[in-house]
Amino acid sequence: MANALFYLFSFFTLITAVGVVVNKNTVNAALCLLLSLVGVAGLFALLDAYLLAALLVLVYAGAVVALFLFIVMLLDVQGGVRAPFQRTTAVAGTVGLAVLVAGLAALAGRSGLASTPAPATAAGAAPVGAVLKHYAEMLFTTYLLPVQVVGFLLLIAMQGVIVLSRKFAAEDAK
């Protein structure tokens, strides 16, 4: 059952990711990104990371993709002719494809990682990622400093966005 779900979700994620890359319409690409993120959230749920699955849907699919759609519609960058790919771009893409395929083939061929067994959870005990208490313990002890730093980062990003939009509004008024 879990296997079937894994293949279903991974197929769905990859197909919609291809949709993001090849779609000519930017709104369609954003919606494909949304579906792809939902697929990844399903995979997270299969990996017993229920909190992260919920967060991914809320933060990414909810906030980020909505922001993308908002900006796409605000700028109105629909349609337009897509210039043919340059030769250097095509060559770089091919080389990148070759390197990545070689890496994946090495990973699949070695199968050293495949022997890693999934840690056996004792009967009745929830897997480690499914207990919210563990998250709280880690975030407030081991990772307390990073949490503070991330809080400052969010504050700085917010102020940066305000400054960016204010500056250009002033220039337009001139």
Partner 1 sequence: MNAGLNEYLILSGLLFALGFFGVLLRKNTLVIYMCLELMLVASTLALVAFSRFNGTLDGHVFVFFILTVAAAEVAVGLAIIVALFRKRGTVQVDELKELKH
Residue numbers 20-39 binding partner 1 by CB under 8 A? 20-21, 23, 26, 29-30, 33, 36-37
- Give, as ranges, the residues between 63 and 92 that touch partner 1 (CB under 8 A): 63-64, 67-68, 71-72, 74-75, 77, 80, 82-83, 85, 89, 92
Q: Which of 125, 126, 140, 146 binds partner 1 (CB under 8 A)?
A: 146
Q: Per-residue contact track with partner 1, 85 to 124, x per CB under 8 A?
A: x---x--xx--xx--x--xx--xx--x-xx-xxxx-----
Size of the site for partner 1 (CB under 8 A): 83
- Give, as ranges, the residues between 44 and 63 that touch partner 1 (CB under 8 A): 44, 46-49, 51-52, 55-56, 59-60, 63
Reported as half-sphere exposure (CB side, CA atoms, 13 A), residue 67 has a value of: 6
Q: Which of 54, 102, 125, 150 binds partner 1 (CB under 8 A)?
A: 150
Q: How far is the CB of 124 from partner 1 (least distance, A)?
A: 16
Q: Which of 38, 122, 128, 144 binds partner 1 (CB under 8 A)?
A: 128
Structure tokens at 32: 């494909």
Residue tagged 């994946």 (tokens): 104
Q: How far is the CB of 127 from partner 1 (least distance, A)?
A: 8
Structure tokens at 20: 């993001």
Q: Which of 54, 125, 126, 127 binds partner 1 (CB under 8 A)?
A: 127
- The reply to whether 126 sits near partner 1 by the rule CB under 8 A is no
Burial letters 150-172, b for 16+ CB under 10 A, else e: eeeeeeeeeeeeeeeeeeeeeee
Identify whether the C-beta of residue 127 lies closer than 8 Å to the C-beta of residue 48.
yes
Measure the CA–CA gap between 10 and 80, rounded to whole angstroms. 32
Measure the CA–CA gap between 76 and 58, rounded to whole angstroms. 26
Q: Which of 36, 48, 49 is nearest to 9 (CA)?
A: 36
